Amino acid sequence: MSASHAAPAQAPTRSRVTLQVNGSPRTLTVDHRATLLDVLREDLGLTGAKKGCDHGQCGACTVLVDGRRANSCLLLAVAQDGTEIITVEGLAAGGELHPVQQAFLDRDAYQCGYCTPGQLCSAVGLFAEAAAGHPSYVTDPTRPSGQGPVELTAEEIRERMSGNLCRCGAYPNIVAAVEDVTR
């Protein structure tokens, strides 16, 4: 019985990659099965990116990859060689909080705090998307895409932040904090 289930004892394939993490090059050997999220958390000690579902369903692991927000649980680390990664630990440039971090404090836009890093990175990502004119589901469909910034109304923010779940129910405060930054 056991023989039929025995897998060949091959060492997992590993590769050497360099990630630009929060502005610093980090070279390490990664297991090809390892996600960017696990490498950040377990190998680099950057536990700001959270594991809420490991399936791209909750957004707690959101980081910025080459300036765009991404679920780091859905990215294999080996495929990110050479990319620039910004995690929540990298949002406060030069020790000064990013405006959206300050707005989260001002608005009490968090409770347990576990979704917070993902919400913050997602907000920073959506500012860039709206500035670049990317439409969302609630954007006027007759509006040409990519031509001038999309105004971030509360409805736009709610729609664009909906990939980031918060079980404590801090949503109204999060939306208010994101709105504060757009003003």
Partner 1 sequence: MPGTATSAASRTATSAATRTRVPAAPARALGAAAERLEGLDKVTGAARYATELAHTPPDCAYAWPVPATVASGRVTAVDTAAALALPGTLAVLTPDTAPRLGEPDDPNLAVLQHHTVPHRGWYVALAVAETLPDARAAAAAVHVTYAAEPHDVTLTPDHPGAYEPQEANGGHPARRERGDAAAAFAAAPVHVDATYRIPPLHNHPMEPHAAYARWDGDHLTVYDSSQGAGPVHAVLARLFGLRRDQVTVVSQHVGGGFGSKGTPRPHVVLAAMAARHTGRPVKLALPRGHLAAVVGHRAPTLHRVRLGAERDGTLTSVSHEVTTHTSRIREFVEQAAVPARVMYASPHSLTTHRAVPLDVPTPSWMRAPGEAPGMYALESAMDELAGALGLDPVELRVRNDPATDPDSGLPFSSRHLVECLREGARLFGWADRDPRPAVRREGTLLTGTGVAAATYPVLLSPSTATVTALHDGGYAVAVNATDIGTGARTVLAQIAADALGVALDSVRIDIGSTRLPRAPLAGGSSGTASWGWAVHAACTRLTERLARHAGPLPVEGLTASADTTEEAGRTPPFARHAFGAHFAEVQVDTVTGEVRVRRLLGVYAAGRILNPRTARSQFIGGMTMGLGMALTEHSTMDPAFGDFAEHDLASYHVPSHADVPSAPDIDAYWVEEEDPHLNPMGSKGIGEIGIVGTPAAIGNAVHHATGIRFRELPLTPDRVLPALA
Site for partner 1 in 3-22 (CB under 8 A): 3, 5-7, 9-12
Per the structure block, which two tokens stand in for 179? 């709105």
Residue closer to partner 1 by CB (options 70, 157) is 157
- The span of 78-86, 127-135, 143-151, 161-169 binding partner 1 (CB under 8 A) equals 161-169
In single-letter form, the type of residue at position 10 comes to Q
**Could you say which residues in the range 91-150 bind partner 1, by CB under 8 A?**
91-92, 97, 101, 104-108, 110-117, 120
Residue 55, interface with partner 1 (CB under 8 A)?
Answer: yes
Q: How far apart are the first and last CA of the chain?
A: 67
Mode of pairing for the β-strands spanning 84-86 and 14-21: parallel
In the set 15, 18, 29, 57, which binds partner 1 (CB under 8 A)? 57
Q: Minimum CB separation from partner 1 for residue 69, in Å?
A: 14
Report CA-CA distances (Å) from 182 to 15, 21, 152.
41, 26, 7
Contact between 112 and 50 (Cβ < 8 Å): no
Residue closer to partner 1 by CB (options 55, 146) is 55
Report CA-CA distances (Å) from 59 to 3, 17, 49, 94, 124.
41, 25, 10, 26, 14
- The span of 50-58, 78-86, 127-135, 142-150 binding partner 1 (CB under 8 A) equals 50-58
The residue length of the chain stands at: 183
Q: Minimum CB separation from partner 1 for residue 22, in Å?
A: 10
Residue 89, interface with partner 1 (CB under 8 A)?
Answer: yes
Residue 69, interface with partner 1 (CB under 8 A)?
Answer: no
